[in-house]
A = this chain, B = another copy of it.
Amino acid sequence: MTVNSKGRQKRAVVLLSGGIDSATCLAVARSEGFDCHALSFDYGQRHRIELEAAAAVARSIGAATHRTVRVDLRAFGGSALTADIGVPKDQYGKDAGIPVTYVPSRNLVFLSLAMGLAEVLGAWDVFIGVNSVDYSGYPDCREEFIRSFELTANLATRAGVESSDERLKVRTPLVKIAKAQIIQLGTRLGVDYSLTISCYDPTPRGQACGHCDSCTIRRAGFEQAGVADPTCYV
Contacts and interface: CB of A to CB of B under 8 A. Distances in A.
Interface stretch (A151-159, A206-214, A223-231): A151-159
Interface string A72-115: 11011110000000000000000001100011111111011101
Contacts of A67: 75-76
A1 interface: no
A162 interface: yes
B76 A116 contact: yes
Contact of A152 (B106, B109, B116, B149): B149
Contact of A119 (B104, B153, B157, B159): B104
A234 interface: no
A61 to B, nearest CB: 21
Interface stretch (A19-27, A49-57, A134-142, A190-198): A134-142
A161 B149 contact: no
A111 B115 CA distance: 14
A69 interface: yes
A189 interface: no
Contacts of A103: 116
Contacts of A149: 152, 155-156
26 contacts: A67-B76, A69-B71, A69-B75, A70-B75, A71-B71, A73-B116, A76-B116, A77-B120, A78-B116, A78-B120, A98-B158, A98-B162, A104-B115, A104-B157, A105-B153, A106-B116, A107-B156, A108-B115, A108-B152, A108-B156, A108-B157, A137-B161, A139-B156, A139-B161, A148-B152, A148-B155
Interface of A: 67, 69-73, 75-78, 97-98, 102-109, 111-113, 115-117, 119-120, 137, 139-140, 142, 144-145, 148-149, 151-153, 155-162
